[in-house]
Amino acid sequence: MSLFLYLILLISEHHATTHCAPPNSSEGKVTTCNLPKQNATLYKMSSINADFAFNLYRRVTAETSDRNIFFSPVSISAALAMLSFGAGSRTQTQILEVMGFNLTDTPVAEIQQGFQHLICSLNFPKKELELKMGSALFIGKQLKPLKKFLDDVKSLYETDIFSTDFSNISSAQQEINCHVEKQTKGKIVGLIPDLKLHTIMVMVNYVHFKAQWANPFHPSKTEDSSSFFVDKITTVQVPMMHQMEQYYHLVDTELNCTVLQMDYTKNALALLVLPKEGQMEWVEATISSKTLKKWNHLLQKRWVDLFVPKFSISATYDLGTMLLKMGLEDAFAENADFPGFTEDTDLKLSYAAHKAGLHLGEEGTEDIVNPEIGFLGKFETTLQPIIRFDKPFLLMILEKSTRSILFLGKVVNPIEV
C-alpha cells in the first residue's frame, strides 16, 4: 500500500492591499486547545527544530545552490512528528532521529506533548498577526483507522480527518484541492493536479501567515529599478524599498555577515543575513541554533539607512528524496512500520512534497503615515550605516514566543519565477 504525504503551506502576504477569499465555515469554531505555559520541552524543541531546519536547508542547497530556496521548517517538523505518531519500532526512531531528537534524552511521549504545545501556541489568537498551522488527513474508505490514532491526532495536532473514496480519482482530487483552497483562503488552488492511482492516504499540512511591519516602508521611497548582483556576471533590476529607521542589527565577524532584524507589529520577526562577498557557503555551512541564540544576545538597535528588495519567492520540493538522503529510509521501504495508523498492514510512504511561497513588500497603502517620515532629511546627511541587500542573502521569519522558524530561505535572484 502507498501513503502519499503532501506537506503544503500558504503563500504569505505582507501587503495591506491583499484581498483574501472569505474565511471558510470552519473558522471560528471552538477549540479545546488552551495556551500552554512555556516549559522545558518547548524550549528544547525550538533548538532541535532549528537545527533540523538548517540541516534540511543544507540538503536543499546541495541540490540547488544557485537557485532561490524557500520552505517552512515548522510545517515540515509538525507533519513528520504526526507521521511518527503512527509509526512503530525502527521507522518511528528513524523519523524522530532525522528530526534531531535523541530518544534517550527526550522520550517519544515528551516529543508528542511538545508538538501539541507548539501547535497550540502558534495557533493561539494574536492581535495584528494572522498565524494558523493546520493539518488534514484524507483516508481511503477501505482502510480501518484506529480510533486512538484518530482521537490523538485531533487533540495533539488539531487535524481534520476525512474518509475519502480514492477509487474515484477525480472526485478525491477535487475534495483535497477544495479543502486546501478553503483553508489557505484561496492562495493555493489546484494543489494536486494528478492524484496517483492506488493512493490510500493523503496528509496535508499548511501554514497561513500574514503580518504587518512594525515600521512599514513608504511606497514613495521605493526605487522602481535598482541593481541586484546575482553573481559576478549577472545583474538584475528590482524595486528596492528604502527607509531610514532604527533596527536591531550586528556584524558577525566569525561568520563574516551582517544580520538585520525587521520586526512585525506582533509576535513575529524577520532576520535578513547578508554574507560578505564570497562568504555565502561559509555562512550556510556554519549557521545553527547556537548562532540564532548568539545573535539574539548581540543584536543592538541603531539607526540604519536600509535598502531591501521588494520581491516574491516560491519553491516546490520533492521532500522525500531529501529525507531519504538524511537517513529516513524505512518509511519509504517495504519494511515500513506504521501500526498506529490502521489495522491494515503493508503501509509505506510513497511521496512527500512541500510547497512554499512568500511576498515581501512595503506593507501598507498610500495613506499610511510613517511616523519617521518627517525626520528623514535630518539623518540622510549623517554617517548612519548603510545596509543594502543587493546581493544574495538568507531570510528567516520567526515566531517570537516559541522561537520557531516559520520560513527559511535564500534569495539568489529576486526576479526568479
What the block records as the C-alpha cell of 318 is 520533492
**Would you say residue 123 has pLDDT above 90?**
no
Report pLDDT digits (tens) over 259-284. Answer: 999 999 888 899 999 999 999 999 99
Specify whether 257 is located in the same domain as 185. no
Specify whether 63 is located in the same domain as 171. yes
**CA–CA dist 402, 292 (Å, integer):** 13
Average pLDDT score, the chain: 82
Report pLDDT digits (tens) over 287-326. Answer: 999 999 999 999 999 999 999 999 988 888 888 888 999 9
Percent of the chain with pLDDT over 70: 85
Instruction: Check residue 248 and give its pLDDT.
Output: 97
- The larger pLDDT score, comparing residue 351 to residue 254, is at 254
Q: How many domains does the chain have?
A: 2
- The larger pLDDT score, comparing residue 37 to residue 188, is at 188
Q: How far is CA 390 from CA 134, 252, 285, 287, 416, in A?
A: 35, 18, 22, 21, 15
Q: Is 297 helix (H, G, I), strand (E, B) or coil?
A: helix
Instruction: Check residue 30 and give its pLDDT.
Output: 34
What band does 375 get if pLDDT is binned at 50, 70 and 90? very low
Q: What angle do CA 44, 91, 320 make, to 5 degrees?
A: 85
Instruction: Check residue 140 and give its pLDDT.
Output: 86
Alpha helices in 184-288 (DSSP H): 280-286
Specify whether 76 is located in the same domain as 45. yes
Instruction: Check residue 34 and give its pLDDT.
Output: 57
Would residue 364 count as lying in a domain?
A: no
**Would you say residue 85 has pLDDT above 60?**
yes
Average pLDDT over residues 80-92: 90
What band does 346 get if pLDDT is binned at 50, 70 and 90? confident
Specify whether 175 is located in the same domain as 292. no
Is 6:203 a contact under the CB 8 Å cutoff? yes
Q: Is 47 helix (H, G, I), strand (E, B) or coil?
A: helix
Specify whether 188 is located in the same domain as 288. no
Specify whether 87 is located in the same domain as 181. yes
Specify whether 306 is located in the same domain as 400. yes
Show the domain range for 122.
2-23+30-211+313-359
Report pLDDT digits (tens) over 168-214. Answer: 989 999 998 898 888 877 777 777 778 888 788 888 877 777 888 99
